[in-house]
Amino acid sequence: GELFIKEKKKKKRKNFDPHLLSDRALQTLLSTEDNYLPSTNYFKCVQNEVAPYMRRVVATWLLEVCEEQKCEEDVFPLAINYLDRFLSIERMKKTRLQLLGAACMFLASKMKETVPLSAEKLCIYTDNSVRPDELLSMELLVLNKLKWDLASVTPHDFIEYFLFKLPVHEDAKHTLRKHA
């Protein structure tokens, strides 16, 4: 795993298109967000093994992978959105939760990144407890269950709008963006 950790990523960062910072755009964003919200009570209603603390473990792991791989900032919240939406409709064994998390991350990276994470790399991050072929079939299951509806609105999408409204300097915005 260390080999990959040391690997430096050469990625071109994308900038936010200033043409999109209109109030109408914000309204659209708000109303679209509703279509992608997970259920809030799936631990009680859908799952019988998966508990909140397990979700936290998987989420922490995903965040670490994102940070180490220097993923785009929107990849992590997007992966979590897929995870929650999947768990809202499909019962999952706790032993397959990391596999699910990896598949969600795989998909979020494909949605957002110029150079998406490879299946092999993700499997290495699971300490090889997940095989690439398992990851690929879980990917298809997630796509199928989420009906290929992956263009979710996440909290991250609102940051630029809020910063745009704030009367602060560009440098301060950079700091705020980092800590949002």
Which residues lie near other proteins (CB under 8 A)? 12, 14-15, 17-20, 22, 24-25, 28-29, 32, 39, 41-42, 44-46, 89, 106-107, 110-116, 118-119, 135-136, 139-140, 143-144, 147-151, 153, 157
**Shortest distance in whole angstroms from residue 54 CB to other proteins:** 20
Toward other proteins, which CB reaches closer, 57 or 75? 75
Rounded Cα distance, 180 and 178, in Å: 6
Toward other proteins, which CB reaches closer, 29 or 124? 29
**Shortest distance in whole angstroms from residue 15 CB to other proteins:** 5
CB 121 within 8 A of CB 106: no
Toward other proteins, which CB reaches closer, 60 or 131? 131
Toward other proteins, which CB reaches closer, 44 or 169? 44
DSSP state of 118: P
**Shortest distance in whole angstroms from residue 121 CB to other proteins:** 9
Place of tokens 């990959």: 4
Backbone phi, then psi, for 82, in 5-degree steps?
Answer: -60, -45
Angle between helix 132-145 and 97-112 (nearest 10)? 70
Rounded Cα distance, 66 and 56, in Å: 15
**Shortest distance in whole angstroms from residue 140 CB to other proteins:** 6
Rounded Cα distance, 179 and 164, in Å: 16
**Shortest distance in whole angstroms from residue 153 CB to other proteins:** 7
Rg (the chain; Cα; Å): 17
Toward other proteins, which CB reaches closer, 58 or 117? 117
